[in-house]
């Protein structure tokens, strides 16, 4: 059996022994089409994979618009496009308080995906809830984790002619 490094390009081989970066921090993929991860910082380097929206990443280095990912895979991704569209952003892991501003209230579900989870309870209009820090995106809707489940921050427009999403929660400082 041959030497595996002989099968790798110089660029790939150099990433196997990365110099240490800073203290890893949590980032989240927020781009609708996910985040393209490449072998090196160079935008022309080979693509490793595309990580879907909502996934958490461990990043140990940011250089301009590029970030070095160490988990779930080692590679480089763009934090934003040249025009400013955000693809990967630093996680806000602090607990936050939200007030329910949707008149019909919001539904708490036992999972982050509303299509594959069960209803836990209904939170009425005007009630204040506290998140436990986790926010994810499912089908272009931001979802916030509570101690007993997940709630949506917004709701898609009711019809195709209305392009504004419906706000369900308001963050309280």
pLDDT digits (tens, 9 = 90+) for 59-95: 999 999 999 999 999 999 999 999 889 999 988 656 7
Strand, helix or coil for residue 31:
coil
CA angle at 90 for the pair 78 and 96, rounded to the nearest 5°: 150
Spell out the alpha helix ranges (H) of the chain.
10-16
pLDDT digits (tens, 9 = 90+) for 118-133: 999 999 999 999 887 6
Residue 69, burial from CB neighbour count under 10 angstroms (0-12, 13-18, 19+) = buried
How many whole angstroms separate alpha carbon 151 and alpha carbon 154?
9
Cis peptide before 54 (omega within 30 of 0): no
């Amino acid at each position: 059996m041959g030497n595996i490094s002989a099968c790798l390009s110089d660029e790939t081989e150099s990433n196997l022994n990365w110099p240490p970066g800073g203290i890893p921090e949590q980032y989240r993929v927020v781009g609708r089409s996910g985040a393209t991860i490449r072998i090196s910082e160079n935008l022309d380097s080979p693509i490793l994979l595309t990580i879907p929206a909502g996934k958490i990443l461990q990043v140990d280095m940011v250089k301009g618009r590029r970030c070095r990912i160490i988990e779930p895979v080692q590679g480089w991704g763009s934090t934003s496009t040249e025009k400013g569209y955000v693809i990967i952003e630093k996680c806000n892991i602090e607990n936050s308080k939200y007030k329910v501003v949707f008149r019909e209230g919001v539904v708490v579900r036992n999972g982050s995906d509303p299509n594959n989870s069960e209803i836990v309870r209904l939170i009425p209009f005007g009630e204040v809830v506290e998140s436990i820090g986790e926010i994810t995106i499912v089908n272009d809707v931001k979802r916030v984790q509570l101690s007993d489940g997940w709630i949506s921050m917004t709701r898609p427009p009711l019809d195709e002619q209305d392009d504004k999403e419906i706000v369900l929660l308001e963050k309280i400082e």
